[in-house]
Structure 1
Amino acid sequence: MYDEILLPVDGSPAAEQAMPHVFDLAERFDATVHVLFVVNTTRDSAGVVGGTVLDTLEREGRRVVDEVEARGERRGIETHGVVRRGAPHDAILDYATEHGVEVIVMATHGRTGVERVLLGSVTERVVRAAPVPVLTVRAAE
């Protein structure tokens, strides 16, 4: 059913909680897991400060991606990891399209009300625009 699964990660505890679901799906369907970390370069992010900050964020992203890849590989799951720059929701959707991803698995923080409006929700934007199913995993507090 699923051959290509995308797991966007950001190093947060919430993203960590999506991993068991991704790995279980991958094992069940003998699927490849694509691990994607996006360095947010939109005008509202810290990334616009300059090259040094972006380089630091990319190194941190690579560390997170490498760790997830290693966990998947220890379970015998083929993984591919990448770090990209851009608006997170756009980068996730673009990657999914470019790589023939059949399902995206993402954590959601469960924000509501003003907090959600002010902070926005990458997961919500992906759910609304994704050309494939999106499995959301609500993060425990």
Structure 2
Amino acid sequence: MYDRILFPTDGSDAARAAKEHAFDHARQYDAELHVLYVADTTKYSTVTFEEGVADVLEEEGWEVVDAVADEADRSGLDVVDVVVQGRPHQQIVEYADEQDVDLVTMGTHGHSGLKRTILGSTTERVLRESNVPVLAVPAGETDGE
């Protein structure tokens, strides 16, 4: 049923709750797990150093993605780790389409300064625009709770 599962993460508590669901579905369906971090380039994200310019958000993204990918790998899952730049909801939807993802699993609240009453704004936009099913996991929910 699911060959490729997309887990967009920003390292937040909501993403950590959704991670367990993404891992469980990947195990259950023997699916490839795509771990995606979107460095939000709609915000100022560069810092100048003596040797040039580094994108701080992208560096943070790799730290978040690498940690999840390492855990997935240790769990025996096939994992693809990706960091991209852009508007988070647009990049998530585009990535799902381009990679022929079967399911997107994400938390309902992330690092956004403005949170919706029920869903995080990024999750809400992905739900509206996605061409594939989206599993929206409430912050704090993990399997067995």
Task: Please indicate, yes or no, whether the TM-score normalized by the shorter chain is above 0.5.
Answer: yes
Partner Cα distance (2:122, 2:54) in 1: 19
Q: Give the aligned partner of residue 31 of structure 1.
A: 31
Paired residues for 1:48-127 under 5 Å: 50=46, 52=48, 55-109=55-109, 115-116=115-116, 121-127=121-127
Q: Is the 8 A contact 2:2 2:29 kept in 1?
A: yes
* Identity among equivalent pairs (%): 50
Residue 6 of structure 1 pairs with residue 12 of structure 2? no
Q: Residue type matched to 1:95 in 2?
A: Y
| CA deviation map 1:54-94 (0-9, x unaligned) | 61111110011010001111110000011100000000011
C-alpha RMSD over aligned residues: 2.1
Q: Residue type matched to 1:64 in 2?
A: V
- How far apart are residue 116 of structure 1 and its match? 2.3
Q: Give the aligned partner of residue 17 of structure 1.
A: 17
Extract unaligned runs of 5+ from structure 2: none
Q: How many residues align?
A: 132
Aligned residue for 1:77, secondary structure, equals coil
Q: Is the 8 A contact 1:39 1:54 kept in 2?
A: no
Q: Residue type matched to 1:104 in 2?
A: V
Q: Which has the higher helix share?
A: 1
Partner Cα distance (1:55, 1:15) in 2: 22
Aligned residue for 2:27, secondary structure, equals helix
Extract unaligned runs of 5+ from structure 1: none
TM-score of the pair, normalised by structure 1: 0.86
Q: Which runs of 4+ in 1 moved over 3 A?
A: 50-54
- How far apart are residue 14 of structure 1 and its match? 1.1
